[in-house]
Amino acid sequence: MKLNSNDLICGIKAKLIRDFFTKNEQLQDPGGPYATNFTVLGLNTKKETQLFIEKLEKEGYYAKNMTHNKIIYWIRENKALAITNVKFIKRISRTQANKILSDFLERIKQLKKDDYYISQVTEARVFGSYLDDKVEDLGDIDVQVDLELKPGYTHEQANEIGWKRGGHKNLNYLMHICYANETEPKRFLKNRNRYLSFNGDPKETHKHRVIYESR
């Protein structure tokens, strides 16, 4: 999605809207006891808030719902969810994007050879705006990777290694056991590149192009 931080969405700067959408999966009735806080957007009156919610609903960012006891609320739609993923960073050319993907593919090969890492990539895919060859500048590069344990490792061993390597970190149970076989390899592949966006949706969710398959 091509969006600048100062672009306006329903009259509010895009960066503020992105952060607001990220925080608020639901909006509560401004006239109710659990009203959502809109002051971060510079909306301080009930009337301003109501007009803004009407704009959000009309533009398809939120949909109006009602609980069984007739309390009105609004639920975030996919259009708003897409805004939450926007990064306000300098856009890059397709040539630069191709270089990033080339380096990414090289790191996939390095990951497989490096004995420290217990997982390897079976398939990597790119999707999103990169697939449109007519798009000359990009905000980020959306990728998906499928990982598997390298030969010789069991899932029990992977969990144990994950606990050891992530033991000093403030992680929940699932994050601990996935640390060695998921978090570490993906962190290596990303290499702190802010233009690479990893996506965990199922393969069939997005139109995509396979850019790597293990042999």
pLDDT of residue 31 exceeding 90: no
At residue 16, φ and ψ (nearest 5 deg) are -65, -40
The model's pLDDT over 98-123, given as tens digits with 9 standing for 90+, comes to: 999 999 999 999 999 999 999 999 99
How far apart (Å, rounded) are the C-alpha atoms in residues 189 and 104? 6
pLDDT of residue 161 exceeding 70: yes
Calculate the alpha carbon distances from 44 to 30, 53, 61, 96 in Å.
Answer: 11, 13, 21, 44
CB 77 within 8 A of CB 180: no
Residue 65's pLDDT is: 92
* The CA-based dihedral angle spanning residues 41, 44, 49, 55, taken in that order and rounded to the nearest 10 degrees: -40
Pick the more confident residue, 28 or 87: 28
Residue 99's pLDDT is: 97
Sign of the C-alpha dihedral computed for residues 76, 77, 78 and 79 taken in this order: negative
- Residue 125: count of CB within 10 angstroms of its CB: 19
How far apart (Å, rounded) are the C-alpha atoms in residues 15 and 6? 7
Identity of the residue numbered 36: T
The model's pLDDT over 188-212, given as tens digits with 9 standing for 90+, comes to: 999 999 899 898 888 888 899 999 9
Mean pLDDT of 84-88: 80
Place of tokens 């899932």: 155
Residue 1's pLDDT is: 59
pLDDT of residue 146 exceeding 90: yes
Pick the more confident residue, 175 or 58: 58
CB 73 within 8 A of CB 67: yes
- Options 1.10.10.10, 1.10.3720.10, 1.25.40.10, 3.40.710.10; CATH for 8-84 is 1.10.10.10
Mean pLDDT of 21-37: 87
How far apart (Å, rounded) are the C-alpha atoms in residues 16 and 22? 10
Residue 18's pLDDT is: 93
Mean pLDDT of 147-174: 89
pTM over 0.75, yes/no: no
**Dihedral class, residue 85 (left if φ above 0, else alpha if ψ from -120 to 50, else beta):** alpha
User: Where residue 2 falls among pLDDT bands split at 50, 70, 90?
Assistant: low
Strand partners, 125: 144, 210
In eight-state DSSP terms, residue 201 is S
Contacts of 137 (CB under 8 A, 6+ apart): 2, 91, 92, 93, 94
